[in-house]
Structure formats: C-alpha cells, structure tokens
Amino acid sequence: MILKINADTFGIISGSLCLVHCVATPFLFIARACTDTCCSSTPVWWQLVDYLFIVISFAAIYYASKNTNKKWMQIALWSSWAVLLFTILNETFETGLLPEMFIYFPASAIVGLHFYNRRYCKCAKDKCCAS
C-alpha cells in the first residue's frame, strides 16, 4: 500500500523538522564545546542532515507547485527553496555572505507558504490551472 500524503502537509512536517534541526544545532554544539575542547566544529553527518532536508523540501515543493492554482505561490515556494539552498551552501563553504541565523527566514517561509497553499490554493479534481 502506498502512503498518500498531501504535498503541503509533507512540506509542513519536513519544514518544521528542518527548523527544529536549525534551532537545535547551536545548543547541541555549544554544550559539546563546553564539555569537549577537541572537535568543537559541526560533524559532517550533522551537516548532511541539511542536505537531506533540502532534498525532501524539493520533493514537497515540486508536488505542491504542481497542485496549486496560484502562479505566485509556485514562484514563492521555489524562490524560498532557492534561498534556503543558497543559505545551506553558504554555511557549508563558510563564505560569510549571510549570517548563520538567516536560515530561519527561508525555512519559515517554506512552512508558512505550505500552510497557506494547503488552505487557499486548491486545484480542481479534473485539472489544475496555475494562474
């Protein structure tokens, strides 16, 4: 049996988990740095979770944008995703172009947009006109 879940619901869940991950990161590694003076940087496996969330959010936005009746919603979802990807890459490569706290803006925007899309941007069952 294939589990059917609304793309926006999936996006809300994964986006919320992403925000929890972003909020927890500083606290986890401050605590670790206080107890362990060696290796205070973020482990690679924890950074890979960022990329897992970006892949999951890509899928949620892909399906949500196919089933929305608002063109601006598609643009807003994909723009927020692109900014989130840029922010994650900025943190990974430590370019310093954006502060680390900036990640909360695109992640929150994605969650909020999925909530809005789920509530107000439904397609008809027979067809979807993105206008």
Contact 54, 84 (CB under 8 A): yes
pLDDT of 65: 92
Whole-prediction pTM value? 0.75
| The CA-based dihedral angle spanning residues 69, 71, 76, 77, taken in that order and rounded to the nearest 10 degrees | 50
Tell me the per-residue pLDDT of 63-102, one tens digit each, with 9 for 90 and over. Answer: 999 888 899 999 999 999 999 999 999 988 989 899 988 9
State yes or no: pLDDT of 9 exceeds 70. Answer: yes
